[in-house]
Structure 1
Amino acid sequence: MARRADEGGTNAPQSRLAPAERREQIIEAASRVIAQNGFWGFAVRQVADECGLTEPAVIYHFKNKVGLLIAVLEHRDREDMTIFAHTLGVEAEDVWNGAVDFGIRELCAALVARNVAQPEMVRLYTVLQGESLNDHHPAYQYFQRREERVLGNLTRAAERDGIENPRREALAALSMMDGIQVRWLREPDAVDLVAEWNAYADSRWPRRD
């Protein structure tokens, strides 16, 4: 039987990855496990098994379960922003800073295009977003900040479009997007995320040719 690779335990590894590569491997595995089980339902042991490691090896890199969760969220934020910026044809830093010049329809279309390409990541965020409604959840503050940042970007986009109550418009758009995505995650073969979003966008912000 092959032994587990274990930088933090006692078993000699069959093969070693560089520390950065090992961290990335663990983060990818944790993303999958948390997407299926949520924070409260996953165990570090499950992540270790996914990687062929022992539990102490995972703890060696991330200290504890909360540290692993935060590492997953930070990693996904960077990946997410890179994909989103590429879809818009701008720099990721400009998206972070809100320094982009798009209307609300364009920004929302880019969000949907990004999300439809990564259903497991959307599932991860949807599961954690629901769990973190409890202010004792370790990701509570993270999701508060994240949602406010997204809402702020959409509000500024609505302002550029000259919409009368831009924050309300942004909140309505974000809520509709979240709702459609939940249906899509539940019934991916029955719900076309892009088509459903475009139908909403056409009814809300008709194109002016």
Structure 2
Amino acid sequence: MPVQQRRIQILETATVLIAERGFWGVTLRDVAIMCGITEAGVLHHFSSKAKLLIAVLEYRDEADFVALARLLGIERGDIERTPLPVSLRELCTALITRNAGQPEIVRLYSVLNAEALEPSHPAHAYFQDRETMALSLFRRAMPENDEAIHMSRQILAAMDGLQLRWLRTPDDVDLVPEWENFFERAFL
């Protein structure tokens, strides 16, 4: 198998396993067995379990940014612009729509985000940086004012909380309409 294909196989396999078991519940051996290679083969591509974890998260983030841009009808690079070329409502709806189609990835981030509250966790700094990035993304989609940072935090908290309810009881929570209803009442 070509090197890039093997790396992607390892990343996708690790994504599934970590989403199911959390970082601490997965070994390099587990990943290797699922990929049909040895632990040394995994380590050849990712020099440690911690580096594999960060690579999984970065890989998923890029896939999500590409999909988000497509949902918004903009170029991938436009997501970095200030201001964003879309409204806050369009951004939030696209994020929730994307997440509604990938519960296993939302579960991955939810589990890891909770685990990474511990400062010794290998993804602790990653999740701090990711939160800063998410808050910036929301702020760039709204007019700059003294309330923008507070509103950004509230949106992120609401998304996280609603997504947890959806993961726990997917038959009771229809994520996109539930988000739209909440956003309509809370932020407009």
Q: TM-score range by the shorter chain?
A: over 0.9
SS at match of 1:158: coil
2:31 is aligned to 47
Cα distance in 2, alignment partners of residues 114 and 58 from structure 1? 30
Deviations 1:101-156 (A, max 9, x none): 22221211111011111111111111111111111111111111111111012123
TM-aligned CA distance change 1:56 to 1:87, over 3 Å: same
Alignment equivalent of 1:165, drawn from 147, 156, 179: 147
For 1:180, the aligned partner's letter is L
Distance 1:98 1:50 in 2: 42
Contact 1:156 1:166 in 2 (8 A): no
State whether residues 88 and 141 of structure 2, in contact with CA within 8 Å, keep that contact through their aligned partners in structure 1. yes
Q: Is the 8 A contact 2:28 2:39 kept in 1?
A: yes
* Larger RCO (CA under 8 A, 6+ residues apart): 2
Distance 1:34 1:96, change over 3 A: farther
Unaligned runs of 5+ in 1: 1-16
Deviates further, 92-101 or 78-87: 92-101
Residues 116 and 194 in structure 1, CA contact (< 8 A), matched pair in contact too = yes
Aligned residues: percent identity? Answer: 45
The residue matched to 2:143 in structure 1 has which SS? helix
TM-score of the two chains, using structure 2 as the length reference: 0.94
Q: Which residue of 2 aligns with 1:91?
A: 75
Aligned to 1:190: 172
Preserved contact between residue 83 and residue 140 of structure 2 (Cα < 8 Å): no
> Which SS does the other structure have where 1:135 is aligned?
coil
Match of 2:40 in 1: 56
Query: In structure 2, what is the Cα distance between the partners aligned to 1:96 and 1:125?
Result: 22
Tell me which of 79, 84, 101 is aligned to 1:117. 101
* DSSP 3-state at the match of 1:136: coil
Aligned to 1:78: 62
Greater Cα shift, 136-145 or 90-99: 90-99
Structure 2: runs of 5 or more not aligned: none
The answer as to 2:165 corresponding to 1:148 is no
Please identify runs of 4+ aligned residues in structure 1 that moved more than 4 A.
Answer: none
Counterpart of 1:157 in 2: which secondary structure? Answer: coil
Separation in structure 1 between the aligned mates of residue 156 and residue 50 of structure 2, nearest angstrom: 28
Residues 98, 129 of structure 1: alpha-carbon distance in 2 compared, 3 angstrom cutoff: farther
Residues 141, 97 of structure 1: alpha-carbon distance in 2 compared, 3 angstrom cutoff: farther
Post-superposition offset of 1:62: 0.8
* C-alpha RMSD over aligned residues: 1.5
What's the counterpart of residue 137 of structure 1? 121
Partner AA of 1:168 in structure 2 = H
Read off the aligned partner of 2:44 and give its amino acid letter: Y
Q: Aligned equivalents of 2:12 and 2:82: distance in 1?
A: 28
Which has more radius of gyration?
1
Correspondence for 2:183: 201
Residues 30-45 of structure 1 mapped to structure 2, 5 A cutoff: 30-45=14-29
* Kept in 1: contact 2:18–2:108 (CA 8 A): yes
